[in-house]
Amino acid sequence: MRKILVTNALPYANGPIHMGHLLGYIQADIWVRAMRAMGHMVTYVCADDAHGTAIMLRAEANGITPEQLIAQVQQEHERDFSQFAIEFDHYDSTHSQTNQDRAAEIYIKNRDAGHIAVRPVSQLFDPEKGMFLSDRFIKGSCPKCKADDQYGDSCEVCGTTYNATELLKPRSTLSGATPVEKSSDHYFFKLPDFKEYLQKWTRDEGRLPTSIANKLDEWFEAGLTDWDISRDAPYFGFEIPEAPNKYFYVWVDAPIGYMSSFENYIKSKRPDLNFDDYWKKDSQNEVYHFIGKDIVYFHALFWPAMLEGANYRTPSALFVNGFLTVNGQKMSKSRGTFIKAETYAQHLNPEYLRYYFASKLSDKVEDSDLNLDDFVQKVNSDLVGKVVNIASRCAKFINKDFANTLAAEVAEPELIQSFIDAGEAIIRAYEQREFSTAIRDIMALADRANQYIDEKKPWALAKQEGQSAQVHAVCSVGINLFRQLAIYLAPVLPKLAAQVQDFLKLERFDFASRQQILAKHEIATFQPLMQRVDKKAVDAMVDASKDSLTQATTTENSSHKKQKNTQNPAKTPAATTEQIQIDDFLKVDLRVAEVIAANHVEGSDKLLQLTLNAGEAEPRNVLSGIRSQYAAEDLVGKLVVLVANLAPRKMRFGTSNGMVLAAGNGEGIFIISPDQGAQPGDKVS
């Protein structure tokens, strides 16, 4: 029996759980259930990531304390997870005394080992709010092209990057005050100390997906840099030991929440477990983190380095999932496809989504698409039309004509044994996180079971005199085959499995229990197990998502416009634009490009690093100042327009080889995308 600790990426305590989040949590929950069904001891913990400036400011805006805000959000998160049968053994918060103590310990061990540096950093300071401002909270005029309303790290108009202290006419977006330059000591984790260790760690077999390890090589080639782990007061988080008014940056104590959540689980519920058995340096137990690909950098570099520096074990492996699109596109508020977990659960059975995601997931770092039409068809065809249909066709005869008892002699033993034997490959697929393969194999068995029943036609036999024993035999085989399918689907559909277990009156429903063939076995009266998905319910879910979000946006925009008109009722004159000739325009080579990867730029609150397929031999790297409007995960797969012949620009954060076209109106940034049918490399004219 293996002893395993599983964690999920910690959801940020500043907003609701949505479909994109659920992909990773459902993947982890299925794996946990499957490993337990194999007989392994698995502990599954998670927590809310509860610190940071964003939470502090949202609480202030809502007129409540940060503690009140994170308590409210945690309650909502736990409700959403419960609705989707994501069952953590313990769900915690990073804002706990245990996490503070563990974070202090890890910091002090690294400090005493020489892995912490302190040096002054000059930043802009809001004298009214009494706080240092990150780049996203500063706006002003670009020092190069003089464009107004630019953030504190780069210009949307001309693409220049700069320090926030170089902005002209800077202002705080929090108070409107003119910030002043001020220096303070910052604390840095010396990541370069661990370069050789991390290069080996990331290449250890089975530790990371190969594609992720290859991506991390880019960071090693560029050179690892010290990591700023401190923030100045006021900040909602943990104060750094022996450093008054200095707080741990949220990404320091967030992953330590994996350890503290497990520790609090031991304290509150499982004193028989031992913390060191899982986290000491030479532990033979296994630790796995399920995360999204957007946070690999923190989990594959900073986190193992911090653990190594503090003499703790590192994760056995990182299991990385891709992003989620809906109907082939990024989740959209205007289209109603930015669907909250709560909204989905109000309209549809959450197990439908668990099944659909399972049918898509593999051990590869691939994006998944929730195609709503395919979702309806797959659930209705597979679960209702194939699996549940077997029980409903056979149970009615067992209930009505045979006193709820299966036949004493098992017909078709070879057929039933073949279903039992098929479990080996299905179980192996679960263990390897090849859920789509497992589902495909299970549905192939379901097809065979239905084919058997269709060939035997118990409903026709029941009308023939003297065929009662044959009806009994056929339907008993059908129930046995159905039982095998339900056991195999149990990690994906735990609520359905519990219903089937009650219906079949079975004490066990793990994988090993499938070896027992049911003969002369009493079952309960069959009750409907699943209903077909009604397309109207899907449409209602989309409408509910669209209506609530669109209404909020409309109200906000109306209020904003009214305020602007009150301050300045005169219309803004159109900008005067210098005319160019057609020959000037033809010098610009505009190409369609596909975003094949998007990542946050460390140290910048505004830039995203885009890897583009522009139909050329090699992908292009472009730094784009669109982070305020777009999440990195939403851009992957999107078609954009690239200025392909723009001279490479060396920026503070790297070299940008081109420019992605976007429109801006002072209230947002909007990427310009070609219409459907365009392909990477197509010339835009």
C-alpha 622: how far from its chain's center?
24
Q: At what angle do helices 435-456 and 389-401 cross, to 10 degrees?
A: 40
Pairing assessment for the beta strands 3-8 and 286-292 based on DSSP bridges: parallel
- Tell me how far apart the alpha carbons of residues 298 and 278 are, in angstroms, rounded to a whole number: 21
- Tell me how far apart the alpha carbons of residues 111 and 632 are, in angstroms, rounded to a whole number: 33
- Cα radius of gyration (the chain): 29
Q: Which of 529, 532, 360 has the alpha carbon at shortest distance from 437?
A: 360
Cis bond before residue 234 (omega within 30° of 0) = yes
Give the amino acid at 180: V
Q: What is the DSSP letter of 265?
A: H
Give CA separation, 209 vs 214, 220, 224, 255, 632, in Å: 9, 17, 21, 20, 20
Tell whether residue 394 is among the known ligand binding residues.
no
Give the amino acid at 479: I
Give the tokens for residue 474: 């056929």
Type and span of the H or E element at 68: helix 66-83
- Tell me how far apart the alpha carbons of residues 667 and 629 are, in angstroms, rounded to a whole number: 10
Give the tokens for residue 507: 């004490």
Tell whether residue 155 is among the known ligand binding residues.
yes
Query: Are 135 and 151 in contact, with CB atoms under 8 Å apart?
Result: yes
Give the tokens for residue 291: 């995360």
Contacts 24+ apart (CB under 8 A), 295-301: 295/9, 296/212, 296/215, 296/216, 296/320, 297/216, 297/219, 297/599, 297/600, 297/602, 298/251, 298/255, 299/255, 300/198, 300/202, 300/208, 300/212, 300/216, 301/191, 301/198, 301/216, 301/219, 301/224
- Tell me how far apart the alpha carbons of residues 135 and 14 are, in angstroms, rounded to a whole number: 20
Contacts 24+ apart (CB under 8 A), 331-334: 331/18, 331/19, 331/20, 331/634, 333/545, 333/546, 333/549, 333/550, 333/553, 334/546, 334/549, 334/550
Type and span of the H or E element at 489: helix 468-489
DSSP class per residue in 517-558: ---S-B-PPP-----PPPHHHHHHHHHHHHHHHHHHHHHHHH
Pairing assessment for the beta strands 41-48 and 90-93 based on DSSP bridges: parallel
Around 409, how many Cα atoms within 13 Å sit in the side-chain half-sphere? 4
Three-state secondary-structure class, residue 583: helix
- Tell me how far apart the alpha carbons of residues 97 and 595 are, in angstroms, rounded to a whole number: 42
Residue 499: φ, ψ to 5°: -65, -40
The 10 Å CB-count burial string (b at 16+, else e) for 535-555 is eeebeebbebbbeebeeeeee
Residues in the chain, total:
685
Q: Which of 416, 417, 426 has the alpha carbon at shortest distance from 38?
A: 426
- Tell me how far apart the alpha carbons of residues 261 and 99 are, in angstroms, rounded to a whole number: 8
Give CA separation, 513 vs 349, 445, 483, 566, in Å: 27, 18, 10, 72
Around 365, how many Cα atoms within 13 Å sit in the side-chain half-sphere? 22
Three-state secondary-structure class, residue 278: helix
Known binding-site positions for Zn(2+): 142, 145, 155, 158
Known binding-site positions: 142, 145, 155, 158, 333
Known binding-site positions for ATP: 333
